[in-house]
Amino acid sequence: MKRFATRSALVAAALLMAAPVLAQTAPAPGAAVGGPRVPASRAEIGLSFAPIVARTAPAIVNVYAMKAMPARNNPLLDDPFFRRFFGDRGSPDVPGLDMPAERIQRSLGSGVLVDPSGIVVTNNHVIEGADEIRISLSDKREFDADVVLRDPRTDLAVLRIEGAKGGFPSAVFGSSDDLEVGDIVLAIGNPFGVGQTVTQGIVSALARTQRGITDYGFFIQTDAAINPGNSGGALVDGAGRIVGINTAIFSRSGGSLGIGFAIPADMVRVVLQSALTGSKVVRRPWLGADLQQVTPDIADGLDVARPTGALVQNVLPDSPASKAGLRAGDLIIAVAGQEVGDPDAFGYRFATRPLGGAVELGIIRQGKPVTLRVMLETAPETVPREEITLAGRSPLTGATVVNLSPAVVEEMRTVDASKGVVITAVAEGSLAERTSFRPGDILLEVNGVPITRTADLARATATPARMWRITLQRGGRTLSAVLPG
């Protein structure tokens, strides 16, 4: 009996001790024991992204770009046999069979209204080469638009609605640096031209580099469905702020595979600021040094733990890098305390710093950490551009060229050269295009005449010749070509 009483007392004591624990771990109302929690109220069932979309969607627009292209006749009409039956469609002597002189090429993308005055940000590839641009708002209003600033290096363009009197809805920008992998995001745009569409996903990765999409290869990756037509649209965070501009997808079929890339909002802000100040080019800090990817072999040679950072190949005289004491062989590992894994990451971090101040670079020099302070200033235009477009009958006809300077080298992302002039544009269908000259080519010599200024090139190509000997620099290599006149 005594034994039984003792055992009962022990059981009772154990239950009393466990009671508080049981009370603390009891499931909440509506929760499934051992599983995910189900909605506990009608309010929770009604949770939705609709308020975010309602605030942001009016600022997302459709961008229609039209470009006139020369019409191409059916190649069969070049055959005299078929022309006997169908006539000469390019001749006014055959009524009703004239071919149109041109056809209209249309492209569709998306954009974001970023200012109530009618300023729109979109992708450069959406409007590149367009003769006419139309903006369609979510409320069905349509407007013509002008290009304020194009920046192929970031694949961004800034447009202004023509005749705008203001009062347009505009998006609120957030900071892309506040994003974390796993954050919920929305992609808003016009995929496949079906109309404004919202898709939802998460941030899959940050600081995606070496994608080969833009010069500043630093992207937000998301699994929110992005398809053709979404380009230039908004990537929106959970607070309804624009954190990126959708620009590209990884796809084997042309449709979304859950890997989309967006340009970070902090880079968009740099381009937008230059446009709003009236600049025709984006004003960015200039380092004045060439950087190289760090491979595992290079990392072993530098005696660093892993292949990360941007290795300095050479430093230009009188550049901010030179004045700060940066040297060839230095390994840049951080900008303003933010780690950089490769030259693309460095380029983004450096380019998004505000002009006029200074920034600290964390480097490894001969195995030891060093901090350098670099001034944030634009590349100087030490020589006037003196832009000309070549005419006449030379192989360079249709090429636009300017004099070289650090500012031009920075804009064109070409190899720095001490002499020559650089091609900035090649007219479509021109002799220069058919001869395969490209923007970025540095012309050094024409028919034995050294080229130091654009005026030299104009004189050298003014007189027709039976043969043309042209020496140029492309991608750091010096090439020579002999072309017929």
155 is in an annotated binding site: yes
Say how many CA atoms lie within 13 Å of 330 toward its Cβ. 21
Judge whether 475 is annotated as a binding position.
no
Q: What does the pLDDT look like over 82-119, one tens digit per residue?
A: 455 555 554 444 444 455 556 677 778 999 999 999 99
Q: Is 155 a catalytic residue?
A: yes
> Distance between CA atoms of 216 and 261, rounded to whole angstroms?
13
Can you give the pLDDT at residue 98?
A: 53
pLDDT tens-digit readout, 210-227:
655 666 668 899 999 888
Q: Which of 127, 116, 115, 135 is nearest to 157 (CA)?
A: 127
**Confidence grade of residue 193 (pLDDT, cut at 50, 70, 90):** confident
- For the chain, domains (ranges, CATH) are 48-283 (2.40.10.120), 289-375 (2.30.42.10), 388-484 (2.30.42.10)
Q: What is the pTM of this model?
A: 0.77
Q: Output the six-digit token pair for 147.
A: 């290009």
**Residues 221, 225, 229, 230, CA torsion sign:** negative
Q: 159, 200, 150, 168: which is closest to 49 by C-alpha?
A: 200
Active-site annotation holder among 115, 151, 155, 344: 155
| β-strands 119-123, 102-115 pairing | antiparallel
For residue 382, give both structure tokens: 């030490």
Query: Does 231 carry a binding-site annotation?
Result: yes
Please say if 91 is a catalytic residue. no
Mean pLDDT of 288-311: 90
Active-site position among 204, 231, 394, 430? 231
Q: Is 297 a catalytic residue?
A: no
Whether 229 has a binding-site annotation, put simply, is: yes
Give CA angle at 314 (311, 320), nearest 5°.
95
Is 430 annotated as contributing to ligand binding?
no
Question: pLDDT, tens digit, for every residue of 49-79?
Answer: 889 999 999 999 999 998 876 665 555 555 5
Write the pLDDT tens digit of every residue in 37-46.
777 887 776 7
Q: Per this entry, what is the length of the chain?
A: 485
